Chains A and B, each alone.
Chain A
Amino acid sequence: MSSPISRGFHRRHQDTTADTKRVPPGQYVTTDFPVLSAGPTPHTPLESWSFSIRRAGDTLKSWSWSELQAQPVEDVTVDIHCVTRWSKLDTRWQAVSIDTLLAQVDHNARFVLAFCDGGYTTNLPIADVTGHQAWVAFGYDGQPLQSEHGGPARLLVPHLYFWKSAKWVRGLELLEADEPGFWERYGYNNYGDPWREQRYAGD
């Protein structure tokens, strides 16, 4: 089926700043930093904050805020793509690689379920959070990450739609079998590859 032409509709913005090869189908480039979340923004004091790796209810390893900061911090510059259609290029984060954290536990998990303050969850194959593709980010543009953007810390998995980069993240549950997270249970795609435009279930 070919798409009907919308008479009189035309492109109004010429993307002169953006390299269009860097923008996945159906996305547009914004220079703002929009917010998408399902509920109120949680505020957890850093003294009681920790990041944990768990399996079947057991905590295998946990890092306090200062312990996490003591890990090797990387400066990561990446493009991000939200399922609501904005993309933002060259975002700069200060973050600890998930590889660094997973190397400190013994595991053979195939999937992870990220869990967060506020009850949000999202699921990812282990292959997508390893190999230098995923981070726990706590700085944005050299400043502490603001709470409305997921601070004190959020997951950063830039090669997937940004709902996979869970805000207010508190840890990863290691899983043998995949388990849908929050948006994945409400009709969004289980994997979320922006280049294949996997927005919704079945895409």
Chain B
Amino acid sequence: MARTAVRGRLTWQVASAGSLTEETPSVRTIELDVPDWAGHRAGQHLDVRLTADDGYVAERSYSLASAPGEAVAITVERLEDGEVSPYLTEDLRAGDELEIRGPIGGYFVWPWQDDAVSPLLLVAGGSGVVPFRSILRHRAETGTTTPTRLLYSAKSLPDVIYRAELDAMHDGVEVIYTLTRQQPPGWTGHSGRVNDAMLREIAWPSGQHPIAYVCGPTAFVESVASALVGIGYPADRVKTERFGGVGGP
């Protein structure tokens, strides 16, 4: 049965920025002090609203980077021609106020329908890894040993977000990087875009009843999701979240 994750009115509230962590030169994690947070599920997102002194308002959605029960956090990648992300990654200081509402979304969540045991495949492109930090932390908290693989496609090693945390994963979590643009000397990991051959090697065989989550830019998600269906994943076991490629903000 589908479950209703969000009911009742989601109201805007004022949150203040807490600790700020520079994950890479263009990516920042922002902890938010939210007075009235109803809690969230791993994989959900929230909306941010900024107001300029001339009354101009901009709203954007960001995936939650923290596990249920942890302080609310988002991780934002700066888009050079963006409007909100440059502000959040460069101008925002600890203590600054902004409006948020959430949590939002009830489909791209783990566990799905209380199933925390099906082998879990996470496939991230760039900052598509953000909701997976929430999922991996939540998985660790629940103490499950569900076999889990994260296949993370990044331009280069310095572009990997949460690298220290991901490299320290254990208890049945494997993290596999593929570097698409630049590999360090002596790199023995995967290179190039996620393709059929890579998925055949890394994805859990479909016979194990795995569930897959794919998050990243539209073209990445489109290609990975189709490839997973091609190797036998039923479409309803492949959950997707797409962003970016939106030209503007």
Contacts and interface: CB of A to CB of B under 8 A. Distances in A.
Interface stretch (B96-104, B142-150, B198-206): B96-104
Interface in B1-43: 2, 4-10, 12, 14
B14 A31 contact: no
B105 A187 contact: yes
Contacts of B104: 187, 200
A4 B98 contact: yes
Overall SS of chain A's interface: loop
Nearest to B3: A185
B6 to A, nearest CB: 3
- Interface size classification for chain A: 35 or more
Given A5-B52, A9-B52, A187 B6 contact: yes
Given A6-B96, A26-B57, A37 B2 contact: no
A35 interface: yes
B104 to A, nearest CB: 6
Given A40-B235, A201-B9, A203-B9, A4 B51 contact: yes
- Interface size classification for chain B: 35 or more
A42 B240 CA distance: 13
Nearest to B7: A201
Nearest to B248: A30
B245 A34 contact: yes
A81 B236 CA distance: 26
Contact of B239 (A9, A31, A38): A38
Interface string B230-245: 0000011011101001
Contacts of A7: 91, 96
Contacts of A50: none
Interface of B: 2, 4-10, 12, 14, 49-54, 56-61, 82-83, 86-87, 91-92, 96-99, 104-108, 218, 222, 225-226, 228-229, 235-236, 238-240, 242, 245-249
Q: Which A-B residue pairs are the 3 nearest by beta carbons?
A: A187-B6, A202-B9, A186-B106
